[in-house]
């Protein structure tokens, strides 16, 4: 292997050789083609001297009005807090305007949610017979028998990368590999979400070029979390993000054991079970057994997103990913335990 390249694992189903055709040359992919060898993808290593530009998450491209979600939260054994997906311990977020949107409007269009350490993962995906490349990729990754944790979720707006065939899948593989190289993890520790125009491949030069900036601007602040929630919006008029804290009990004289859950989502049209047309990322800092967490994510989606219908259309890209960092500490929450019921 050359010194300037790094190899990360990718799902073997998608590790097929790529032939450059006249059509791909028109997109300029001959010069940016990702060589796929067996179950590995080779991506150029970023220059050690390259320093990504700093991002101000209070600037206009990261801000749209908030949905009044806080006013809709029912009363219960929890309290609403600030921070979105960064409210739980062990998570950081980043967003960037990579100019992926055809409209050219001044709004961020890609984001990265990263766990400091491998986080237990659960996922729920569209049941549409036509599933976008990122959905297929995530399903393949999570179907691995021993796959219980991931590190990151990369999401983009502008192009859905749906109905894009083999080339669209290769774009998904390259996206995951590029993030993996930036974070120093395996490609199957990165999950993907895309939203936008169906039938359009991702602008890979722009997205791949944005990854170092995303990785270099990861923050655990509420501003970073809200910027990420802004980046995934398409026709949404408001961004949707929320975080709550719940007392799981079992704290004795020192008080209850607390855990936080944060989330962000997008969706406006094409809303119909299963699921609402949407991308969603949920973070949690409770220490939860993998099987228990996966079941929680599925049950939560069934009791919320799958209860909504606007226009009777189920999208190709529907995807909710839940990550539990365990950073709040304590023994692992198991299915059927009192802490699991409260969580």
From CA 185, how far away is CA 152, in angstroms rounded? 9
Q: 276 and 300 in contact (C-beta within 8 Å)?
A: no
Cite the active site residues: 277
Letter string b/e over residues 97-118, b meaning 16 or more CB atoms within 10 A of that residue's CB: bbebbeeeeebbbbbbbbbeee
**Nearest-10 Cα torsion for 139, 140, 145, 148:** -60
> What pairs with residue 258 in β-bridges?
247
From CA 85, how far away is CA 205, in angstroms rounded? 27
Direct distance between the N- and C-terminal alpha carbons of the chain, in angstroms, rounded to an integer: 47
Residues 6 or more apart whose CB falls under 8 angstroms from that of 21 comprise: none
Residues 6 or more apart whose CB falls under 8 angstroms from that of 135 comprise: 125, 126, 316, 317, 318, 319
Residue in this structure with the two tokens 């804290």, named with its chain if needed: 245
DSSP state of 297: H
User: DSSP for 182-210?
Assistant: HHTS-GGGEEEEEEEETT----HHHHHHH
């Amino acid at each position: 292997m050359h010194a300037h390249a790094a190899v990360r694992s990718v799902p073997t189903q998608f590790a097929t050789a790529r032939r450059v055709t006249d059509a791909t040359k028109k997109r300029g992919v001959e010069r940016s083609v990702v060589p796929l060898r067996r179950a590995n993808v080779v991506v150029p290593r970023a220059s050690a001297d390259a320093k990504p530009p700093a991002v101000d998450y209070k600037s206009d491209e990261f801000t749209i009005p908030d949905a009044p979600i806080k006013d809709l939260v029912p009363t219960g054994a929890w309290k609403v807090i600030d921070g979105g997906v960064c409210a739980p311990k062990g998570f950081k977020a980043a967003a960037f305007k990579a100019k992926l949107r055809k409209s050219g409007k001044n709004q961020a269009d890609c984001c990265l949610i990263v766990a400091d350490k491998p986080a237990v993962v659960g996922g729920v995906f569209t049941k549409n017979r036509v599933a976008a490349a990122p959905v297929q990729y995530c399903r393949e990754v999570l179907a691995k028998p021993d796959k219980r944790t991931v590190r990151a979720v990369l999401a983009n707006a502008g192009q859905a990368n749906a109905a894009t065939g083999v080339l669209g899948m290769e774009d998904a593989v390259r996206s995951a590999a590029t993030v993996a190289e930036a974070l120093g993890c395996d490609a199957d520790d990165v999950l993907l979400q895309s939203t936008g125009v169906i039938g359009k491949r991702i602008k890979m030069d722009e997205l791949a070029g944005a990854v170092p900036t995303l990785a270099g601007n990861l923050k655990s602040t509420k501003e970073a979390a809200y910027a990420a929630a802004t980046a995934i919006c398409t026709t949404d008029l408001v961004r949707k993000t929320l975080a709550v804290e719940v007392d799981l009990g079992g704290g004795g004289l020192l008080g209850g054991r607390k855990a936080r859950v944060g989330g962000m989502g997008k969706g406006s049209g094409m809303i119909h079970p299963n699921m609402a047309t949407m991308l969603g990322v949920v973070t949690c800092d409770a220490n939860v057994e993998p099987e228990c967490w996966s079941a929680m994510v599925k049950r939560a989606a069934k009791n919320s997103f799958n209860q909504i219908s606007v226009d009777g259309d189920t999208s190709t890209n529907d995807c909710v990913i839940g990550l539990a960092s365990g950073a709040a500490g304590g023994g692992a929450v198991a299915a059927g335990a009192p802490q699991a019921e409260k969580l």
